[in-house]
Amino acid sequence: MTKRRKDYHPFIDLYMDKIRSGEIEACKELRQAMDLIEQKLDDPDVLIDSEKIAKADELISRYFYPLFDWERFILALIHCYYKSMDTVVFDEFLIMLGTGNGKNGFISALSWYLTTHYHGIPRYDVEIVANSEDQAMRSFMDVYEVLDDTWPKSKKFFYKTKVVITNLRTKSHIRYNTSNAKTRLGKRAGCVVFDEILEYPDWEVYNAFNASFGKIKHGRKFLITTNGYLRGGFLDDMLEKARMVLAGEVKSLGFLPLVYKLDDKEEVHDKRKWIKANPSLPHLPHLGQALEKAYEEMKTQPQLAVDFLTKRMNLPAQESFRAVATWEQILATNRPIPHDELKGQKCIGAFDFAEINDFASCGLLFKYKGLRYWIEHTFVCRKALEIESRRIKFPVQEMADRGLITIVNDETISPDHIAQWFLKMARTYHILTIVADRFRAELLRGKFNECGLPLETVAAGPITHSKVAPLVTSMFAQELIVFGDNPTMRWYVNNTYQDVDAKGNITYKKIEPRLRKTDGFFALVHALSKDGMLPESDGTILDLGLYVYPQGR
């Protein structure tokens, strides 16, 4: 056990000692955070305001609920200041907990306290930001309901509507904002809460609200989240920043990551380890019951196993034992495609879609100089995008701007869109055949016959999936598949898991049935089912004449 060099505050000391002694099970990142905190607080210029900590704890316990040990730990760290500059030691907190641990309740209580005169800063506005209005309102409404329940007393100090809460004495506001809020610029926030950052596809929301930061004394940012399925987005960037800060690779300034997660997926079978991702577990019996039930259910339902590891234990889906490939293997597909060298080369075409008013993916598979190359394009029906744009956590418009996605301004994606894409590709590459599962092939057969495009069918499900699974696994493991810089394909692959039945048959399935699209991965699987008919090319083209399919008969 690493001993503290000195005493800081009881809320800090007690929790730090329990983490370091192993009395509270903690992941590597949380143990590293203890070292970072101690390094910061050992600065002789640091003042820990014990009076404010005590008052904040007393007020929150009276109006909201008695704080847990991890919450008191954070509450104390919020009140650490540099005396010489009158600035906070930690101005940005990344807090990642398993779902159900009460992070929104905690941030609600903090938001309320920070607007009061006990915190002591006039016009200290709190902006709560999330991708959806329902999520953004959650913490806001927690505060609203506490005020409503205590209104005979609270009305002396607060004004409330379901849009804004105002502290009458400090003139500080609490407001909720969605990621597309028109009023997000020009605000002078004392505190910004970025809620469920797992849903942020990029830095746009963070940067927009961060522009208002630093204008008010003792400004703070809180990024609260569980882990999720979107890889390569804002959360992954923040976790990488956390890794570098905790490893000492970069100077942290005021950034403090507090990450609660399992260290290894095998720990999921040791219930004593669950507290690593669920620090509220000793205080919430109903959370323990929910985890027990979810754990039992996941044993027989693989999709729930992925969900349990990702959301309950903060081990993302690609780390689970049923992932198609690790995220590192998926990232390795991001290598250049030699388009000029592939001209005239033989390839297998394939397509897949769930519904003709949703997403559809088309692709070409090449074997070239020891690698397989997959050139993919996606069509998206605008109507589906308008309905689901707030729920699909993927930057569709950005991919459209890059030419990787075509947004179709019709009720459906017509067979002509897919046929025309293959006709265009056939002018550059030698397409041997085009493959789809039987159901989707029949929907497009008439148009393909009209255009003179070849079309073969393949069985959907375990018959085909088990056949290609060894090839899929080896391609990713040995980094022999290349997509180019295609985030859409990386998204498709990362949204897929393997379901293995009692006989060892493999079926590829969506991690999330509706909003985690997999069309590009299944199109690739269809193409790989015909991999045997595709010759390996060393770069020479014996027959330079390209066959261009006719536009019609």
Residue ranges per structural domain of the chain: 10-260, 266-315, 327-533
401 strand-pairing partners: none
pLDDT of residue 459: 87
274: Cβ–Cβ under 8 A, 6 or more apart, which residues? 268, 281, 291, 312, 313
What are residue 174's phi and psi, to 5 degrees? -120, 125
Domain 327-533, CATH class in plain words: alpha beta
Other beta carbons within 10 angstroms of residue 150's beta carbon come to 14
pLDDT of residue 215: 82
Closest among 256, 283, 271 to 313, alpha carbons compared: 271
Q: How far apart are CA 410 and CA 407, in angstroms?
A: 9
pLDDT of residue 480: 95
CB burial string 478-504: b at 16+ within 10 A, e below: eeebbbbebbbbbbbbbbbbbbeeeee
Q: How far apart are CA 90 and CA 85, in angstroms?
A: 13
**CB 492, CB 517: distance < 8 Å:** yes
Which of left, alpha, beta for 419 (phi over 0: left; psi -120 to 50: alpha)? alpha
Query: CA geometry: angle at 64 spanning 61 and 65, to 5°?
Result: 55
Q: Residue 18, Cα to own-chain centre: how many angstroms?
A: 30
pLDDT of residue 544: 41
pLDDT of residue 548: 45
pLDDT of residue 163: 94
pLDDT in tens, 360-416: 999 999 999 999 999 999 999 887 777 654 467 788 889 999 999 999 988 889 899
What share of the chain has pLDDT > 90, as a percent?
67
433 strand-pairing partners: 348
Q: How far apart are CA 433 and CA 194, in angstroms?
A: 49
| DSSP character at residue 102 | -
**CB 347, CB 337: distance < 8 Å:** no
Of the listed ranges 101-105, 156-160, 183-187, 246-250, the least confidently predicted one is 183-187
Of the listed ranges 92-106, 204-218, 295-309, 396-410, the least confidently predicted one is 295-309
Q: What's the pTM value of the predicted model, to 2 decimals?
A: 0.74
Domain covering 10-260 assigned CATH 3.40.50.300 in the classification: yes
**SS3 label, residue 461:** coil
pLDDT in tens, 129-188: 998 888 889 999 999 999 999 999 999 999 999 999 999 999 999 999 986 644 454 468
Region 70-76: mean pLDDT is 98
Query: CA geometry: angle at 501 spanning 496 and 502, to 5°?
Result: 155
What are residue 138's phi and psi, to 5 degrees? -60, -55
pLDDT top residue among 266 and 89: 89
**CB 481, CB 374: distance < 8 Å:** yes
Structure tokens at 510: 């969506």
Q: What pairing do the DSSP bridges indicate for beta strands 189-195 and 125-130? A: parallel
Average pLDDT, rounded, for the chain: 89
pLDDT in tens, 504-526: 788 898 876 656 789 999 999 99
Of the listed ranges 67-71, 233-237, 301-305, 495-499, the least confidently predicted one is 301-305
CB burial string 2-22: b at 16+ within 10 A, e below: eebeeebbebbeebbbbbbee
pLDDT top residue among 239 and 462: 239
pLDDT of residue 302: 60
